Structure 1
Amino acid sequence: MSVKKSFSIFVIIVVLSIVGVLFCSIDASTFAMLGDANPSLLACAAALVVLMWFLDAFKFMTLARAAGEKLSLRCTLSVVWINYFGSAITPMQSGGGPFQVYLLYRNGVSVGKSVAITLVRTLQVLFLLAMVVPFSMIAEPDLLQKYSYLRWYACYVVIFIGGCAFLLVVSIVRPRWIKRWVNAVLVWVNKIGFLKSKYLLRAARWINHEITSYNDNIKLFTSTGKGWFALSALLAAAHLVTYMSVMPCLILAAGFKVNYLQCLLAESLLLFMLYFIPTPGASGAAEGGAVAVFGLFVPWSVAGVMAVTWRLLSEYTGIAIGTFIVVRMLGWGGADKVLSDENNKIEKGGCGE
């Protein structure tokens, strides 16, 4: 499927979701409640979005320094915004990586280091989200006691991230184990017919090469780039807290009280879930999930409007800027090539830098 078509599907789903959300939530009391919104706090929410873009850019810059590379702020902001676009057009927000790698490569960073930088950035976000969950569960148990389904989902998140953390440590300390496990999975997939025998050896070679390359580049962060890596982790935490503060800021702007930690817990569960939604950019689920989260803290009649406002500030603005960058820099055809080159590399078992 072409990038332009994927983007069109994303826009269609988003528009339908917004119409559905507003249609199901707005009533006569909505506009009366929103009429008392605090413009200063709304401006604060918008300022938080701008701040999180810069924090994300600084995080990229420090990760690059940890890998022995230097990036300018202007270049890195483009990397941040183009990630919004790539994530919006692909299932499970997986398309941001190839576009980020492309821009980093254009700015002199090798493919291996670019992949390591983008991978570590994503892992930092996931692990920080996972840390928010148990902390919030301990600090503010009332929300989980009130909504039992949140408690079970929170436990699932903690277990899932624990498994990912184990695999991450093993991939660094014992990469051979990962190779054996992956090869065993490939053989099993071949036996049940999901992978043709003629592609089995290619896939195994490509994966083994990528694991070796990943391991070599990840070691840069834990050896010569320790200080920069530690700084990137601090910036990642600041970026995530800033991002997650937009929602409670909007609730306060609408004149409602909110328990900050409870809001962070509910929001972290939503954000984690969105990584695994198969629609482009998690569209549809993101809007509906945002309404559900806002509905925990505000009347239903304003939850829909606030959810749309939150998505507009925190995501749609970044996607719009990222789309402008892609169309101006690559065109729709060039964007197709970026994604198709990544897919062809996997299918052919390519190992080139």
Structure 2
Amino acid sequence: MTDNTNIRSQQQTSARRLTVFALLFVVLTIAGLYAVYDQFAGRSISFDRRLIAPQTLAAVFALLLVYFISDGLRLHYTLRALGHRLPFLVMSRLVFINLFVSNVTPMATGGGFAQIWYLHRYGVPVGRATAATTIRTVLAVLFIFTLTPIFLLTLNAFDGQSVASDLGFALAIFILLYLGFFIILLFRTRWLIGPLSGLLSLLNRVHLISDTHHQRWQFKARREMLRFSHSFSDYLRGRRLFVLLSVVFTAVFLLSLFSFPALLIYSLGYDVDYLVSLGLLVVTTFIMYFAPTPGASGVSEGVFGSFFSDILSGNHLILVIVSWRLITIYLGMIIGLIVLQRELMKSRRKSG
């Protein structure tokens, strides 16, 4: 009875925390859009019906399918390389749960934890689930962090931009720190067992966890960290086809994600240079990785507005930003919220 009460209490606390972050996401998004409206759009905005023309909607829908399907397949084949296979419906729900949770938690930290929880519910050990979601993230990071310096150095659009000049050294440091963390996480996982064990001991000393839970969690933490360590080696030794497909679908996912602005801008009648649009969004996404706000809200709108203000007229800038975020983020978040609520209800029924 006590365990069930604790589970319900934890779920209620998590729900309240997600609600606060969701409200923060909305407030910061509005603030970011207003900043763009005031600073880059000349306080001008107007709706253009070309964005809802049948051919535009058909192209957006087709690209959106590629975006969602490749997002699911990149994790699917990572799991297959680790020896796990989940049904299509499970993987599709996972895509939207990740979209919702990662965009209402700071620096997208919650998306990975939500996916680990969900995968564990369907029989994947925590260590293996952690490895799968981490490898999936690392593959995307490697693409983005490799392309960002190339675009910063080669695109004329960044001439005179502070991102390429004043922040160049800082960006290099961020890249090294971020990649360094993942290298330790993947190749020297055992180094993290000591700090994790120390953290659990501290929580026990300040009476945040009981002695019984402390002993149990110490054992589980060490076991799952060792499983995680072995999992990356298992991934590299997995079937070459599955490893290759996990990389290929990561590339397809990112390419589809980065193509939406070009599609929207083209639909408005602009003669857009696809490579320039692609490069601008790669750098925008790179900056979003370090934004401390939920889902990079506010930051993403501001950076996008700054980068694309020379391409779009003021009355179209806000329109494209809202359309871009609606297609790639807001739509998936709404679906993810519905899916997550259903999964939590199932979990409560089982625990009850």
TM-score by length of 1: 0.78
- Checking the alignment, whether the CA contact within 8 Å between 1:42 and 1:253 is kept in structure 2 is no
Determine the structure 1 residue equivalent to 2:81: 66
Which residue of the other structure, out of 74, 77, 83, is the alignment partner of 2:98?
Answer: 83
1:164, 1:127 → 2: CA distance? 10
1:161, 1:288 → 2: CA distance? 21
Determine the structure 2 residue equivalent to 1:10: 25
Aligned residues: 325
- Checking the alignment, whether the CA contact within 8 Å between 2:138 and 2:182 is kept in structure 1 is no
Cα offset, 1:42, TM superposition: 4.8
Determine if the alignment matches structure 1 residue 228 to structure 2 residue 255.
Answer: no
Higher deviation after alignment, 240-249 or 225-234: 225-234
Determine if the alignment matches structure 1 residue 51 to structure 2 residue 66.
Answer: yes
* Structure 1 pair 156–65 and aligned structure 2 pair: CA distance change class (3 A): same
Determine the structure 2 residue equivalent to 1:320: 334
TM-score by length of 2: 0.78
Determine the structure 2 residue equivalent to 1:95: 110
1:173, 1:102 → 2: CA distance? 23
Determine the structure 1 residue equivalent to 2:9: none
Show structure 2 runs of 5+ residues with no match: 1-12, 207-213
1:14, 1:300 → 2: CA distance? 18
1:93, 1:171 → 2: CA distance? 18
Determine the structure 1 residue equivalent to 2:123: 108
Determine the structure 1 residue equivalent to 2:144: 129
Determine if the alignment matches structure 1 residue 281 to structure 2 residue 295.
Answer: yes
Determine if the alignment matches structure 1 residue 247 to structure 2 residue 261.
Answer: yes
Determine the structure 1 residue equivalent to 2:5: none
- Checking the alignment, whether the CA contact within 8 Å between 1:136 and 1:265 is kept in structure 2 is yes
Q: 3-state SS of the aligned residue for 2:164?
A: helix
Cα offset, 1:210, TM superposition: 5.3
- Checking the alignment, whether the CA contact within 8 Å between 1:42 and 1:250 is kept in structure 2 is no
1:148, 1:11 → 2: CA distance? 27
- Checking the alignment, whether the CA contact within 8 Å between 1:175 and 1:211 is kept in structure 2 is yes
Q: 3-state SS of the aligned residue for 2:77?
A: helix
Alpha-carbon displacement from aligned partner over 1:319-344 (angstroms, at most 9, x marks no partner): 0000111122215996xx9xxxxxxx
Q: CA RMSD in A?
A: 3.5
Cα offset, 1:92, TM superposition: 1.0
Correspondence list, 1:1-353, <5 A: 2=16, 3-18=18-33, 21-22=36-37, 30-31=45-46, 34=48, 39=53, 40-137=55-152, 140-153=154-167, 156-169=170-183, 171-175=185-189, 198=205, 211-331=225-345
The residue type equivalent to 2:294 in the other structure is: P
Cα offset, 1:49, TM superposition: 2.1
Cα offset, 1:274, TM superposition: 1.7
Alpha-carbon displacement from aligned partner over 1:273-329 (angstroms, at most 9, x marks no partner): 222222222222222222223214212332112111111111000000001111222
* Structure 1 pair 35–142 and aligned structure 2 pair: CA distance change class (3 A): same
Cα offset, 1:170, TM superposition: 5.0
1:15, 1:151 → 2: CA distance? 29
Determine the structure 1 residue equivalent to 2:3: none
Show structure 1 runs of 5+ residues with no match: 338-353
Q: 3-state SS of the aligned residue for 2:270?
A: coil
The residue type equivalent to 2:141 in the other structure is: L
Determine the structure 2 residue equivalent to 1:350: none
1:206, 1:156 → 2: CA distance? 38
Determine the structure 2 residue equivalent to 1:340: none
Alpha-carbon displacement from aligned partner over 1:198-232 (angstroms, at most 9, x marks no partner): 47xx7998876554332111111111344312210
1:30, 1:11 → 2: CA distance? 20
Determine the structure 2 residue equivalent to 1:343: none
The residue type equivalent to 2:91 in the other structure is: T
2:62, 2:339 → 1: CA distance? 22
Cα offset, 1:137, TM superposition: 4.0
1:268, 1:332 → 2: CA distance? 38
Determine the structure 2 residue equivalent to 1:345: none
* Structure 1 pair 151–233 and aligned structure 2 pair: CA distance change class (3 A): farther
1:133, 1:111 → 2: CA distance? 32
Alpha-carbon displacement from aligned partner over 1:57-116 (angstroms, at most 9, x marks no partner): 111110110110112222111101000111122111111112111221222211111111
1:284, 1:112 → 2: CA distance? 34
1:332, 1:9 → 2: CA distance? 27
* Structure 1 pair 116–287 and aligned structure 2 pair: CA distance change class (3 A): same
Taking only the aligned residue pairs, the percentage that are identical comes to 25
